[in-house]
A and B are shown apart, each in its own frame.
Chain A
Amino acid sequence: DAGVTQSPTHLIKTRGQQVTLRCSPKSGHDTVSWYQQALGQGPQFIFQYYEEEERQRGNFPDRFSGHQFPNYSSELNVNALLLGDSALYLCASSVGFEQYFGPGTRLTVT
């Protein structure tokens, strides 16, 4: 049984560009959450998707948007990239209490 998978592993973008990150949840999981982890910090909650709708959102600007597909996979989109968006982006899936995290996508904005 594959765990949570994320793609790509690493990504380098230029300021002002747009990026899309992808996440496939663990088999049987219907809820996907996204987190941003800056270097040396704990992860910060971006938003959560359930039944293809955004269920909860953290304190992130509208440049951050997402989508969940009927197969429960999810995308995170970030527009107008800033240097401060450089971070490890983590996806977590769940059904019930416990969240299972993927390996993350390392985004570097230059």
Chain B
Amino acid sequence: KQEVTQIPAALSVPEGENLVLNCSFTDSAIYNLQWFRQDPGKGLTSLLLIQSSQREQTSGRLNASLDKSSGRSTLYIAASQPGDSATYLCAVRGSSNTGKLIFGQGTTLQVKP
């Protein structure tokens, strides 16, 4: 059974810092991995999607990496801003590509001005 874990559960940093959020999964047979952002009480916004054959994806100040063999992904945020404050969730899709996403519990990030 696939399990997804995110560490740390919460993180507080001063504005301008570079930071890394971690995601680990127990079954390396995944189809893809997706990182989402969630603002309090709101839906999920997709940030980056990495296919199982890829090692990383970049979008602006965000970079996500994937190491399937070790069951790990990281989300790197460069030059953090107060507007980056949110909960970040990673989710994996199993290799059957049936569409079911399995989520971690998220990392809640606070960036202080």
Q: Which residues of A contact B (CB under 8 A)?
A: 4, 31, 33, 35, 40-45, 48, 50, 55-56, 58, 88, 90, 92, 94, 97-104, 106
A42 & B100 in contact (Cβ 8 Å cutoff): no
Q: How large is the interface on B (under 10, 10 to 19, 20 to 34, 35 or more residues)?
A: 20 to 34
Interface residues of B in 13-43 (CB under 8 A from A): 31-32, 34, 36, 41-43
Out of B42, B89, B101, name the residue touching A99 (CB < 8 Å): B101
Q: Which residue of B lies closest to A58 (CB)?
A: B100
A45 & B100 in contact (Cβ 8 Å cutoff): yes
Q: Which residues of B contact A (CB under 8 A)?
A: 4, 31-32, 34, 36, 41-46, 49, 51, 89, 91, 93, 97-106
**Could you jot down 24 A-B contacts, CB within 8 Å?**
A31-B99, A33-B99, A35-B101, A42-B91, A42-B105, A43-B44, A43-B89, A45-B100, A48-B100, A55-B98, A55-B99, A56-B99, A58-B100, A92-B101, A97-B32, A97-B97, A98-B34, A98-B49, A99-B99, A101-B44, A101-B45, A102-B43, A104-B41, A104-B43
